Amino acid sequence: MGTRVKNLNNQNYFELKKECLKNKKLFEDPEFPPSDESLYYHTLPMQNVEWKRPGELCEDPHLFVDGISHHDLHQGKLGNCWFVAACSCLALREALWKKVIPNWKTQEWNAKKPHKYVGMFHFQFWYLGEWIDVIIDDRLPCKDGSLIYCHSNAKNEFWTALLEKAYAKLAGSYEALDGGSTADAIVDFTGAVAESLDLTKGHCRANMIEKTRLFEGLYEVHSSGGLISCHIKPSTVGDIETVTPMGLVKGHAYSITAVKKVSIGEKTLFFGKKNKLFMIRLRNPWGNREWRGAWSDESEEWKKVNKSEKSSLALSVRDDGEFWMTFEDWCTNFTNVVVCRMINTSWINLHRTWEKQEVRGSWTKNQELLLNRSGGCYNNKATFFQNPQYVFEVCREEDELLIALQQKDQRIHKKEGKGDNFIVGFEIFKVELNRQFRIHKLQGQERVASSQYMNLRSVFLRKVLKKGRYIIIPTIFQPGISSDFILRLFSYESSNLRELLLDKPIVTCWSILCGYPQRVTQVLVHSLEGMKTDGSSAGADIYVIIKCGREKVKSTIYKSTNSVVFDIQAIFYYKNTKEPIKIQVWGNKIICDQFLGQVLVVASPSDPKELSLQLHGKDGRETEKMPGRINLKVVSSNDLVEL
């Protein structure tokens, strides 16, 4: 999760607290004062709002009363159910909330030492790869002696209201939290990787195999410490917060508090319990309005479950907003789910360990085309490759990758009439094995994956890629927009993710003396056919080497074959334009590899050449034909930023 912590607005909690203790005064935050500007940016101010400290609202205030629970939270007069749902998820994971509420015991009220209380709290949020420490005073907006916004069940418990205030300060105002994504809040709380799934677009509602696969995925995420939320997408704006006949609220975020396989029926002598039912438990941030269908709190179905099973499920027959559903009913009624994974990068853990690579970048406008870094999505053919480009390697024969792109939070700009997320996404291309410079035109490179383009803060893709070198290009959908982002890549082995900054080889003292490259050539070896080696019908273990001057690129070894589909690419920048490029075929042997033939290509600038060439010998035997043909494509240019 990282250890670096930065102070918002350069406010240092310990220094400010020390100053308040010295001056014997309660902290008053000048960066987020008790004013209408801290509450609103557009809505007409609420009348008779008072800012009160917890000690003015009750006699015995505490951060936590009887510990922390996902039942503590109740949404106030603000459309931030998404935030409250995320807090409910957070409360389920002690290791996570202790990061958000650091050293909570030292922040708790101490009745024995009231003089140590200075009315100051601090919370930490994950922001583009760094933890931000946010300080607030304890003055909370109230009306008629009660909190206006998020509050707890217990009148003297204030962690929910104080956390909400810190998050509002980070966003610029309380109103900036009106409408949002549960995924955003969970990522801000944890640094998790968020994936948004549309249940209406898959086959999980109708296909039992897909439904089971989805349940097992959610079960694994929840069991390994991940956080999940869901909602029902309203069909119209007027449909928001309408209640379905079964008691569910549309356009409203629910936190998922449990994913279980519940045993139904009695034990038998040989087969244990009769049946396992896939179940899911949810909580409405309102603290009421529950599911009224099968397996609701007082439904007949619970009679099929014995007392010990009910106890382990913590079944509560109260209108507290929490309820159980079968997974099938959940899939039928809900339309969207947000899955936030805590990716394991610790070698101490017994589960699979992922290698994490991350880079921070920016989309920036520039009139100079080679310096512009805001080219828009792939539809913008003329400018797309002006976006930032990041190269990485897949070192195994194939590897599963998790890729997350997160854009900068825009809510702070809502006061300026902006503040909406940009539509973002990314493309992945398989490129030449030795590419070190930016792509300028799609010429042979394979587009192997594309994320969805969404107006969410985080976009996620899970993809299995084969061994090779790849480039990720993150984009805003529209060209010419400036913003910051973080790109994270998780893989089984280190991918060496880094940005490609240069468009072509740089001019050095050595290149001035010995000559600067005059040509760029791309070679794509498609396939090899008709080989004969050692009279073996099984074929040889074959690989290809592409040489240009002193530089060479070697393919992987293809086992036991006389015909190979390679699709191996290499790109060269060189000064001696008369020297041919060599493509050699070799057989892999235990002691000494066997030369099986080569072709020579003089790459002159012209239209792309599709070639099928007979293999020949080498070292004075270039005219001697050898069995087999190699099929390739060659593209050259004297403009080094053409390819």
User: Which residue of the set 20, 81, 150, 331 is catalytic?
Assistant: 81
Q: Choose, from 284, 387, 421, 562, the residue flagged as catalytic.
A: 284
616 close to 597: Cβ distance less than 8 angstroms: yes
Gap between the Cα atoms of 74 and 255, Å rounded: 13
Q: Can you tell me the distance from the alpha carbon of 160 to that of 152, in angstroms, rounded to the nearest whole number? A: 6
Q: Which two tokens stand for residue 312?
A: 């382990």
Q: What is the pairing mode between strands 609-616 and 625-637?
A: antiparallel
Query: 543: which strand partners?
Result: 586
Q: Report whether 253 contacts 81 (CB < 8 A).
A: yes
Closest CA to 172 of 7, 411, 12: 411
Q: Are 184 and 457 in contact (CB under 8 A)?
A: yes
Q: Is residue 110 annotated as a catalytic residue, yes or no? A: no
Let me know if 7 is a catalytic residue.
no
Q: What are phi and psi of 602, to 5 degrees?
A: -90, 115
Q: Which of 252, 331, 377, 440 is catalytic?
A: 252
Fill in the amino acid letter for 87: C
Residue 548 CA to residue 580 CA, distance in Å, equals: 7
- 455 touches 423 (CB < 8 A): yes
Q: CB within 8 A of 536, min separation 6: which ones?
A: none
Distance from C-alpha of 207 to C-alpha of 331, rounded to nearest angstrom: 11
CB 227 within 8 A of CB 244: no
Could you tell me if 529 and 421 are in contact, meaning their C-beta atoms sit under 8 angstroms apart? Answer: no
Using DSSP's 3-state secondary structure scheme, residue 560 falls into strand
Query: Does the annotation mark 81 as catalytic?
Result: yes
- How far apart, in whole angstroms, are the C-alpha atoms of residue 80 and residue 165? 12
Using CB atoms within 10 Å of the CB of residue 641, give its burial: 0 to 12 exposed, 13 to 18 middle, 19+ buried: middle
Q: Are 149 and 161 spatial neighbours (Cβ–Cβ below 8 Å)?
A: yes
Find the DSSP H helices in 463-574.
Answer: 509-514
Catalytic sites, residue numbers: 81, 252, 284
